[in-house]
Structure 1
Amino acid sequence: MSDSYAFSDLVDFDIIKGLLDQFHELTGMPPSITDVDGNLLLTVGFKTICKDYHRVHPDTLKRCVESDVLLSRAMNARSGYACYECLNGLVDLAIPIVIDEIHMATLFIGQFFMDAPPPRERFVKQAEEFGFDMDGYMDALDEIPLFSRKEVELAAKFLSKLAQLIGEMGLSHKRLASFNRTLEQTVRERTDQLREESELRQRALAEIETIFNTASVAIVLVKGDRLIYKVNREFERLSGYTREEAVGRSSRRAFASEEAFETFAASVYPRLANGENVEMEHQFLCRDGKALWVSMHGKSLNPPDIEDGVIWFITDITERKELERLKEDVERITRHDLKVPLNGIIGMCQSLLIDSGLTPEQREDIKLIEEAGFRMNDQIVQSLELYKIEAGTYEFTPVPVDLGHGVRKVIRDLSHRAAMKVVQFNILINGVLDDMVDPFMAGADPMLLHTLLSNLISNAVDAAPMHTPITINMESRGDMVLVSIHNQGAVPWEIREAFFDKYVTHGKTGGTGLGTYTAKLMADAQNGRITMETDDSTGTTVTVWLPAAESI
């Protein structure tokens, strides 16, 4: 909406006319107000010579308007007032009315003569020129008052103050009108917005209700003292309870015992109160007493006020759990069955080596077979340990292990791959190059430590650009030791956030995405930790922290 206003929109003409009436009564001076285009808006004591003659005849009216407009436009709104003689021979005093720095109207005192009587000959000629009634026109001329300059100046000062007050009145009205317009527009817009929001909300609620009842996972909303507030159709199917049987009842019935019910609350509800998304696997008791394995995802609607509601998404994973258990059984059996013939192969190699009649070439081949058997046995044992770590049943029994010896052994195993890329290894202790003659001890599981270092150094060789060094630095930090492995390649953006996740790999032919995942599991299992920093300009550093040998 436009913010332009007419002068008549911004002032109270009744109040102004009352003031001008009193001014005219006290001074005899006839005031009037015109707009900037010369249109007469208000007049008090308007004289006959103007009213019945000058503003009636088209030619003299033209002179009146032209006089007012010329003066109004030429006048600086900040300069006060101006006194002039109009084109019809009468004296007027003009005072600008300014509203918000805009000249919007002019306050006049007129018509009068100042200091000297009028030249009658001029007005006789005007009467003859425009065909005015001579006697009536001259009588009207005699009505025009004569004021001294001092009287006019005093009146001008007073009316200047009045014009200023009118301007301030207009500005207040303008601001109020503008505020009202803005308020009306805001109310209209807000009303339309609320209407649209209400319609959208209704549609969204309808859509949510449809999704809620057709979802392929069970959904339950629990409020207050863990009472069931709302369930969907899938929950009815999964649990065996109808909506009427479930709503308003305690969720206790989904637990095998009161102890299980309370233990669940103690472990889960503090996390929900902190605003966490809770994910867990849980045994769910159905109406018929059957226990199902379910995956539960929970979120508080208004943490920390749990009583306002917690929504749970429940998926039946009983079949998956059965398959996992079967897979674990098969893997354990397979590992056990692999070790029996493998031990036989190793034992046969050792028996053959006792035979002194073997040629050097035959003895070397048998040793290679024996070594391969030992490595394969280590890998089977390792996979068993990794399974225990993932299952949470691994028990860490640390022993002093020479970290430097482990690093050198891995580097020897990778020497061929490193040579193909012309990669050089720099080994440091506390940032200083060292020949690693003295042991550098950590408290670790020797087999897990070897696998961990092998995975990380192998990854560094694969990621390092041609003809660049790989720096391995070992340091002591209180009751911990660390080994950092740096290469000048950067981890791709696509996998930086998931660098240690399972099956994450990028651009590596034959890569399984298990190297860093396994390394992290093994570091965690040995009461350590692992971090990665990467940058496109400086490369990548993977750092492993392990307990110092002295701390075990």
Structure 2
Amino acid sequence: MNNINVHNDEGIDNLRKENEQLKLEIEYLTHELTASKESRARESDKSDIRFKRLFNHLTDAVYYFKIYDDGSAGNFIEVNETACQRLGYSREEMLALSPKDIDGLEAEEIKPIIDDVYDNDSTTFETVHVRKDGGRIPVEIKTHRFVVEGEMYLLSVCRDITERKNSEREIREAKEQFENIVESSTNGITILQDGKWVFANKAALTLFDAKTKEELLGRSIYDMLHPEFHMECKEIVKKGGIHPRLYRVWTTLRGKEVHTEVVSIPTTFQGKDANELIIQDITEQKKSDSMMIQAEKMNVVGQLAAGIAHEIRNPLTALKGFVQLFRSGTIPNEMFLNIMEAELERIDVISSEFLTLAQPANTDFNTVDMRDLVSNVIDLLDTEAFKKSISFVVENNVKETDVNGISSQLKQVFINLIKNAIEVMQNEGTITITFKNHEGFILISVHDEGVGMSEEQLKRLGEPFFTTKQNGTGLGLMVTYRIINQHNGEVNVESKVNAGTTFTVKLPLIAKVD
């Protein structure tokens, strides 16, 4: 009996201990579950806070709303602060609106957009939103479609594209303005690519006698450009860079010859390298200049006539004397014959140069050796220089002297310059003529030891009828400047009072082909 009671007491104690242990474990689990639940709640609250902060600080407006089966949109379910600020509504006011209340497009304009949104998970489009105060904002919207428990919802992210639209408008207006300027220009404006015309304005079409752009575009320029300019044109395209005031002769689509000045500028067209050509028609100016050059040439010929007649009379007198000796019975000998031959050659050189001046001007560009040309001019003017005890010094150590030009016109230039140098000098002195090569050009300087010119006189050089000579017309230098300009060259002048003057003519050498 006692043993049974003892055993019962032990069982009750064990059961009590087990109950206590189970109670402790339940309390621990409850505590852990509670702690876990609280932790998850805290993390969830933190996530919600972070999400709301991010949602409301996006620079793009965000709208969330439901889409019904008929394609219509319900009121906004959620919007961020950017959406409210942009449109000028409070959050409560926004949640009472739907997309159709803020969209500025007409119904027929918005319908295809809605159909696209309804049929695609994601769509991007542009529209206009209307502010509460009536202001309109161009926007770009990217939509994302969601299906929740069988119902469709839309999240729209909306970006203000006012600046982009303003930039696009400015670019469009600038382009239209540029096109208007190009099309209204009196100069031909073209684009050359791979040796073909790819763009031409109205003036260019008129210049080349093209009735439509199709007649000109796609055609090789070498079909129209005078052959003498082909090599130089290819060289310019190859080297690139800006090339101003290029003289070019063309044959139009109707066979008419046109003289032009061209500016070549490197550019791009449809993503490829090209050359923009600005072409000025100088055909009429060319005729006028030609008449002026010819008139000035005749003026020079008239002034030289007396000197040349005197120069020819001297050898003729010698020849006449020898003839009289021979008639009187004097037997011709080697010395007499050599003198007579030298005098005849002198007459031949002078008369040939004089005839060259009197010939009609040749307008074709050919290879001209400037060394020979200047030498011939010196021979022609040597008599005038000799009368005033003026000598010539020629410094010529250059290798390249060939230019592309009109020989008679270039000869007239150096007759003008050297004759002027002789006239401005008193008795005795030296005229120095120097040749130099520099970066594809030949520079020919004519330096005199005359009285020189002031700064004010230098500024007026080349003006019609301005001259520093007592009986001058001023046309000689004007013609000189025009001729060199037409040969794509330059004339530079340096002068000091009582220290002489230097005229330097700069002409492009003929490009050497590798």
Structure 2-normalised TM-score?
A: 0.36
Structure 1-normalised TM-score?
A: 0.34
Comparing both structures, which one devotes a greater share of its residues to strand? 2
**Larger radius of gyration between Structure 1 and Structure 2:** 1
